[in-house]
Amino acid sequence: MNQLSLANGFERSTKRTRRQAFLEEMLAVVPWDALVARIAPFAPAGTTGRPPYPVLVLLQGPLPAAVVRPR
């Protein structure tokens, strides 16, 4: 008898949520490389103090909120 490992017993297969579907679609539709290239020269360099967040992270945060709740 072969004993199963814990890794095999605890695999999670979750269904795809609306949030995951939206984020995957947003990654496919939005030209992230072009946006990062336009904004990167103006982003903080982080030469002293705390290291800055990557530009891509700063862009991906508020954009879904703006798309879902337009003002």
pLDDT tens-place values along the chain, 71 residues long:
566 666 665 666 678 888 788 878 888 888 888 988 998 898 888 888 888 888 888 887 777 676 666 55
Q: Whole-model pTM?
A: 0.55
Quick one: pLDDT at residue 8?
62
Return the domain boundaries, the chain.
Answer: 14-44+51-68
Quick one: pLDDT at residue 46?
81
- Residues 6 or more apart whose Cβ sits within 8 Å of residue 32: 56, 59, 60
Quick one: pLDDT at residue 12?
64
Percent of the chain with pLDDT over 90: 3
